[in-house]
Amino acid sequence: MCGISGIFNFEANNHISLDVLREMILALHHRGPDEFGIFRDEQVGLSSARLSIIDLAGGSQPISNEDETMWIVFNGEIFNYIELRPLLEKKGHHFKTKTDTEVILHLYEEYGTDCLNYLNGQFAIGIWDSREKTLLLARDRMGIRPLFYTHTDHSLMFASEIKSFLAVPGFHLELDEKALRQVFTYWAAQPPLTPFENVKQIPPGHFLLCREDKLVVEPYWTLSFQSENYWTSDGDDEVFEKFVELLIDATRVRLRADVPVGAYLSGGLDSSTIAAIIRKYTETPLDSFSIAFSSEEFNESSFQQEMAHYLGTRHQVIHCTPQDIGQVFPQVIWHTESPILRTSPAPMYLLSKLVRENGYKVVLTGEGADEILAGYDIFKEMKIRRFVAKDPSSSLRPLLFKKLYPDIPRIKEAGEFLTVFFQRRLMEIENPFYSHLIRWDNTTRSLKFFKKPYSDDVSNEEIIIPAGFNQWSKLAQAQYLEIVTFLSPYLLSSQGDRPAMAHSVEGRFPFLDYRLVEFCNQLPDHYKLRGLNEKYLLRKFASGFLPPEIWKRKKKPYRAPIKSSFFSKNQPGYLADLVSDENLRKSDLFNPLAVKKLFLKASNETQLSEIEEMAVVGIISTLLLFDHFVLRNYPLNKTTSAPIKIIDKIKK
């Protein structure tokens, strides 16, 4: 795992400063503190901050091909590199390292952009072809690793994180109001937008090819589901066996590393299954890590301890209080580089710190199972709403709504209001966004706190509906929307890559192996959501080796305290200044009167609604983002004791 950055000047001999390249990559020091590398020629500069995981002694970046006409910087892991290397050697390619990085470069040399289809991994790639004067940037299929770029008429810059651009003299960031509206609707800016003007992200499953001043961004892989009436399986046993085979192999290949590998253990089905696979099907020693909350509403430590005891792991726990969350929140936003509507990334930030302090660089986690196997309540919500819509006058069908979101006490106690809440826009069954209408409509209510009047009528013009969407099952449509709007831009970023890499920890996600994703996407709905029982295939598999208290557990979404994190006797010291009239005027984003009213309500021990809590987090995180990145009141890291290797090809 690494951080990467670079500059491509469209005109040759417009030499790129080595000092600038150095400052850009040092800004990403946290992503790869072990060593640094810089390559420069007449037109391009590439930089890498390395977190050494594979070929510790020989894997320094940037890496070249045999004749040094191609150079690569790489963030991520290619899990099938061991299988790919012999194929390339048979074609005459010679290797000087044992890394997956060099495998990618020779694949590109052999197949061009088609090389991306060979890769099973999580990656952000930069390849410079000096013969063709072409720069390739590419991102993995699911968007696990980030990659950003910005360009002018004269140059293109790219980096694993946006903060790298701040090291370039004269570069300035401004918040993008359209992207902010997306955050306060979908929980994240939708690719290719980012929260900043003129900075874009390469969408998952896409590559960018730049030659001279011509930029082309194209998909090499798209998320797709089988049509509703298409199925050719021989039977349930074959489906189950194939699922188990793929999941075990996806876990095994993600244990490939020259350093110890740990696992997150939340106490839920997904992470418990991954940890149990490691224990049952491999010889890998295993340490496990988890979060325990002081707030009982969010705490799952009893299940975590039960699983750790059952598996016999050396288990490490970070005990997280609301005050801890409030205290580290500014650092979290520095790393997320985006406003967020939940505090959930903050405990993940503290957890990765614990992992690193215990000497681990790599952890396996259970992310992705809910998306590919329909584990979230939003999928049940869609199914119940469509069932009620078939007989809207029924007094019995709406009772099913009581089975939704059991982790939110205020919803459980809502009574008659519950029926009214879930019956909004009930009959819009032909709307392609039907499954997510209530969530998005609710979230947009936070837009009222902005100074600029935003319509809370969600137009969804940012969401691309792919060909064949109308032929998919209604569950498949909902899964697609959840993956493209929420999993990739929020869960794998603000709650995944960013808080982990803040402490130089690489997360790996077996459920997001593209082979498993594609397989599950071809399955009929009943293999995922059977009645209102989620993740049918996974539960069937886990029932063979997990305790019943774990494999029978209903999904409990990971959540963290909000109101008590910012409004308590130990209120964070930065909060008063952050939401002061002066600071609100300076940012010119929010309505000061509306913000003051909301924060006064929160300060007066008043219970906040779900929407109000999201608004609190959204406002605080947006103001922190403005302070950190627009006003630059957060220092870039510009020092290191690690070696910096410089390869300078400019003729003196």
Q: In the 3-class helix/strand/coil scheme, how is 502-526 assigned residue by residue?
A: CCCCEEECHHHCHHHHHHHHCCCHH
Residue 604 has pLDDT above 60, yes or no: yes
- pLDDT bin (cut points 50, 70, 90) of residue 413 is low
**Residue 389 to residue 383: CA distance in whole angstroms:** 10
- Domains of the chain, earliest start first: 2-221 (3.60.20.10), 236-372+482-551 (3.40.50.620)
* Residue whose structure tokens are 């959540």: 559
CB–CB of 579/595 below 8 Å? Answer: yes
Per-residue pLDDT averaged across 119-147, rounded?
98
Q: 291-315, pLDDT tens digit by residue?
A: 999 888 888 889 999 999 999 999 9
Residue 91 — left, alpha, or beta (φ > 0 → left; ψ -120 to 50 → alpha)?
alpha
Question: What is the average pLDDT value for the chain, to the nearest integer?
Answer: 93
- Return the biggest CA–CA distance within the chain: 83
Residue 459 has pLDDT above 70, yes or no: no
Residue 453 has pLDDT above 90, yes or no: no
Could you tell me which residues come within 8 angstroms of residue 99 by beta carbon, excluding any fewer than 6 positions away? 54, 55, 58, 59, 63, 81
Residue 456 has pLDDT above 70, yes or no: no
Q: Output phi, psi for 505, to 5 deg.
A: -120, 130
> What pLDDT score was predicted for residue 41?
96
Residue 381 has pLDDT above 70, yes or no: yes
Residue 407 has pLDDT above 70, yes or no: no
**Number of other CB atoms surrounding residue 545 within 10 Å:** 15
**Residue 381 to residue 387: CA distance in whole angstroms:** 10
Q: 536-576, pLDDT tens digit by residue?
A: 999 999 999 999 999 998 888 889 999 999 998 889 999 99
Q: 65-124, pLDDT tens digit by residue?
A: 999 999 999 999 999 999 999 999 999 999 999 999 999 999 999 999 999 999 999 999
Asked whether the CA dihedral 367, 368, 373, 378 is positive or negative, the reply is positive
**Residue 521 to residue 476: CA distance in whole angstroms:** 8
Which among 627, 363, 412, 400 is positioned nearest to 532, based on CA atoms?
400
User: Rounded to a whole number, what is the distance in angstroms from the first to the last CA of the chain?
Assistant: 34
CA dihedral angle for residue 335, residue 370, residue 374, residue 482, rounded to 10 degrees: 0
**Residue 48 to residue 35: CA distance in whole angstroms:** 8
Stated as kind and residue range, the H or E segment containing 370 is helix 369-372
> What pLDDT score was predicted for residue 408?
62
Structure tokens at 635: 């220092």
Q: 488-537, pLDDT tens digit by residue?
A: 999 999 999 999 999 999 999 999 999 999 999 999 999 999 999 999 99
**Residue 73 to residue 539: CA distance in whole angstroms:** 40
Which among 248, 227, 574, 528 is positioned nearest to 373, based on CA atoms?
528
> What pLDDT score was predicted for residue 146?
98
Give 208's strand partners: 137, 217
Q: Which stretches within 514-609 are classed as H helix? A: 514-521, 536-542, 548-551, 563-566, 575-578, 581-587, 592-603
Residues annotated as part of the active site: 2
According to DSSP, residue 17 is labeled P
Residue 632 — left, alpha, or beta (φ > 0 → left; ψ -120 to 50 → alpha)?
left
- pLDDT bin (cut points 50, 70, 90) of residue 415 is low
Which is it for strands 287-293 and 261-264: parallel, antiparallel or unpaired?
parallel
**Residue 47 to residue 71: CA distance in whole angstroms:** 11
> What pLDDT score was predicted for residue 13?
77
Residue 345 — left, alpha, or beta (φ > 0 → left; ψ -120 to 50 → alpha)?
alpha
> What pLDDT score was predicted for residue 414?
54
- pLDDT bin (cut points 50, 70, 90) of residue 56 is confident
Residue 597 has pLDDT above 70, yes or no: yes
Q: 152-166, pLDDT tens digit by residue?
A: 989 999 999 999 999
Structure tokens at 5: 């950055």
Stated as kind and residue range, the H or E segment containing 126 is strand 121-129
Residue 409 has pLDDT above 90, yes or no: no
> What pLDDT score was predicted for residue 229?
66
